Structure 1
Amino acid sequence: MKFLIDWDVAGLRENPFIIGPPTNPQQAIWAGLKELKGEFKNAFREAKASAPTQVVLCRGAIGAGKTHASLFFSSDQNMPETSPSVQNIEVLRVQTPTETGNPARDFYLDVIDQIGLDRIGKAIKKNVEAVGRDVVERNLRQTVVSGDFANALLKLFEASPISPGASLPLSAYFLGKCTTTELRKLGLNRNIEKTQDYFRVLAGVFQCLTGLSESSDVTQHNRFCLWIDEMENFIYFTPPQYRPFGQGLRELVDRLPYFFTLFMNFTLTAPEEYEEIELILGGYLTDRITRQVFFHEVKDQEKLLQYVRELLCYYRPQEKPKTPYFPFTEDALRALTSNLQHGTPRDVNKRCRNALMRAFEKGIFEEGKNSEITLKFVQEISQEELDKEIG
């Protein structure tokens, strides 16, 4: 059966009830859930106003908003103001590797690809101009341990901008593997090939981005935040695969004692499941966790209604003021937000979206009539249809 979907007659600009977060951080909005938002604001206030490294564990059910939070707070416009403050705070979002071959290498390549060798070279150049080459070289050597790795990073500065032809061996060094001849040409002795190597080089890269000044004054540095999503995927890996990764993350944290924040998203929520998190990360990393953020299932219906109300308000054109819950009646929304499976934003979005689609199908919204989705209409929709998965 064909039917017209016209968001204008429903008093909206578009569908507010998306199931996954947008890809553009500028398009991410935060509705309701003020306490949860406040926890992240506090974490970022600390990140901007102080030097020590943070390790933040984020736990919650599927659809509770962990990925959305990483997207929302990767936009500068959503960062809290502090004084004093680091010069800049950056959030890099990365997925947990899904291939079981060499997750540490896949992770390393993903991060380096997102940052870009050109940008790393420019960051090193800026540091050299600010504090001098000797300080940069000394601090990089201390962080990455290997003289080869420190020298390779400095060569990015010397080769910046990276030209497609002249610096092929250098690109191969960081993104692939150099031959013996190429290593000799670069003046280096070894490739980046062990798990420990990957994370030490990443530590050096992140330090270049935060600033290599030996001062602990926050106003002379940036903060770099690495936000890893879906880390529960490691339960499908074998111990020889996930243990080196956890050890690598610990190496990263230990090599960067200042101006670095590591966020880790886990869809493991029950108290006993913390043991699985500890198994994946190892006690050596869980012992370094400085803050835990729980994405609790929302049991308070008033908070669920506030979430829907703020979401609808954002998607409602200013020239079309309606009742707070339009195109729903309040009692219809109370019915929709009752007996949810998990009490997550995704559960709410799924039900409201399915009810809206049924309303369009049935021709509830007719131009000029201000028709609404009523309690009676919701009661006529089966529970199975309201909770059906989308896509």
Structure 2
Amino acid sequence: MYPGKLAMREYFKKKYFIKDNPFAITPSPKEIVWADREDLFKQIKNAIDASISTSPSRLIINWGLWGCGKTHAMYYFTSELFKKKMQEQCGSSLDFVQVGIHLPRPIEAGSMANLLYSRIMNAITLEVIHKSILRIGEYAQSKGIGPFDLKRRLQSHFSALTKRKEYADVLTRLLKGAIRSFERKFFYGEKMTTRELKDLEVTRGIDSLDDMLEMLGLVTSVLTQPFEELPEMMSEIFIWIDENEALKELSPKDTFLYRSFLRDLFDYAPRDVTVFLNFSMSIGEDFSLVEASLGDALISRVDSNILFPPITTLDDCLKYVKQLIEHVRTRDVDDPYHPFTEDSVKLLLGTQIEKGILPRDINKIFTKALEIGYFKNTERIDEKFIESNRDLIFQKEVKVRFS
């Protein structure tokens, strides 16, 4: 680790009683904490609860200004931490698939569908699919069902979930044991040799959009549908796709493929799949940007949309700051805002809150205050410190005149 970074962290621990700066400018998938914003949390949580409780697949739009927390929401709600909280609430038997990806940016025009399929399947993982098949094998053994009878029942079960018999056969053969390399290549849509196709007993790989959606539909059904008396392994497949505002930068062909992929996914997987699409906007833009990006056919399938608003009250800002600091606290302190004071926090936020403030902007301000505090060897970031360093904290433009 860079010595300066190590020194700053040690200073934070010794003087500020925090293990690191909790005010990240861009969210990390590693450090996950949800700070306040209770109404927004409730909207997303309610949508997830509804998806788990009912069968129909649904499409949900998350939208709002840049820096309002949409990427962070994706990381949080696709984290193991959130899954654990749901299992504590609903029981340990509850399980669901969490996919969180960013909008693919094809280098080669026309490859959007392949990239999207590959990222979703790699996030689900063949290991999870394999586990679901082996689980059926264990169930059959416990019921005294012989291997030949099980193969027949499995083929019948899978054939009811797909029109492609060879896909059903490929899944059935996963009962044999370890995953073979060419099976992995097939499921992930990678290029396969003629010999590998022959060994897998299929006529071609997963090449077309129909192939991809047929396999995704089959996989989601295998994971979320019961087999005879065996309950389903997963309650829902959640797919989050971030940065959809970048659709306007794609080629017309890739935009068409993206819209078609999502629109038709709900035909191939009409049950137990929930897709969240994140859209970030600049000031002055509104939901019409989402409508123009997705097109009428896909917009007509939107179940609901969730607005990520700026934080508009000082009380909510105080809760947000306090909970982020609590997440990295290393010891008990008398003041929950330490190394800040409540008054210094109010001073930092007071002039910013009038028109609403974005979580990212709060993080920028408090990151700057912590760093200046370190470089100036300050033990407490109080009102006096804020006033004397206001220009540095808020980064007012400094004009330099050259002679």
Relative to the length of structure 2, the TM-score reads 0.81
User: How far off its partner does 1:354 sit?
Assistant: 0.3
Tell me the distance in 1 between the aligned counterparts of 2:85 and 2:186.
37
Taking structure 1 as reference, are residues 214 and 233 closer, same or farther at Cα in structure 2, changes over 3 Å only? farther
- Is 2:156 the counterpart of 1:110? no
- Given candidates 131, 134, 146, the residue that maps to 2:164 is 146
Q: Secondary structure at the match of 2:16?
A: coil
Q: 1:171 to 1:312 in 2, by over 3 A?
A: closer
In structure 1, the residue corresponding to 2:371 is in which secondary structure?
helix
Given candidates 305, 311, 331, the residue that maps to 1:298 is 311
The counterpart of 1:36, out of the listed 37, 40, 43, is: 40
Distance in 2 separating the partners of 1:199 and 1:357? 49
Residues 213-242 of structure 1: per-residue CA shift (max 9 Å, x gap): 489x98775222111122222221022111
Q: Secondary structure at the match of 2:278?
A: strand
| Separation of aligned partners in 2, 1:57 and 1:336 | 33
Q: Is this contact kept in 2: 1:224–1:261, CA < 8 A?
A: yes
Which of the residues 52, 70, 78 maps onto 2:85? 78
Task: Give the conservation status (yes or no) of the 8 Å contact 2:18–2:330.
Answer: yes
What are the superposed Cα offsets for residues 302-359 of structure 1, whole Å, 9 maximum, x if unpaired?
Answer: 211111112222322343x122322112232123223269722111111001011111
Q: How does 1:217-232 map to 2 (within 5 A)?
A: 221-232=234-245
Distance 1:41 1:148 in 2: 38
Q: How many corresponding residue pairs?
A: 372
CA distance in 2, matches of 1:328, 1:143: 58
Query: For the structure 1 residues 125 and 218, does the alpha-carbon distance in structure 2 shift closer, same or farther, using more than 3 Å as the test?
Result: closer
Structure 2 residues without counterparts, runs of 5 or longer = 141-149, 397-403
1:22 and 2:28 aligned: yes
How has the CA–CA distance of structure 1 residues 275 and 283 changed in structure 2, closer, same or farther, with 3 Å as cutoff?
same
Give CA deviations for 1:11-64 in whole Å, capped at 9, x if unaligned: 32322212233333xx41111111111112212221232222232211122221
Amino acid at match of 2:177: S
Partner of 1:369: none
> Which residue of the partner structure matches residue 178 of structure 2?
161
1:293 CA drift (Å): 1.5
TM-aligned CA deviation for residue 168 of structure 1:
3.6
Normalising by structure 1, we get a TM-score of: 0.83
- C-alpha distance in 2, partners of 1:37/1:381? 35
Question: Which is further off, 373-382 or 221-230?
Answer: 373-382
- The residue identity in structure 2 corresponding to 1:322 is D
SS in 2 for 1:79: helix
* Unmatched runs of 5 consecutive residues or more in structure 1: 366-371
Match of 2:103 among 79, 96, 102: 96
Instruction: Judge which range, 333-342 or 258-267, deviates more.
Output: 333-342
Corresponding residue to 1:200 among 214, 226, 230? 214
Contact 2:17 2:331 in 1 (8 A): no
Counterparts of 1:1-391 in structure 2 under 5 Å?
5=8, 6-7=11-12, 8-24=14-30, 27-74=31-78, 75=80, 76-79=83-86, 87-101=94-108, 102-127=111-136, 133=151, 136-138=154-156, 140-141=158-159, 143-155=161-173, 157-162=174-179, 167-175=180-188, 176-213=190-227, 221-268=234-281, 273-319=286-332, 321-337=333-349, 338-339=351-352, 343-365=357-379, 372-383=380-391, 385-386=393-394
Q: Percent identity?
A: 26
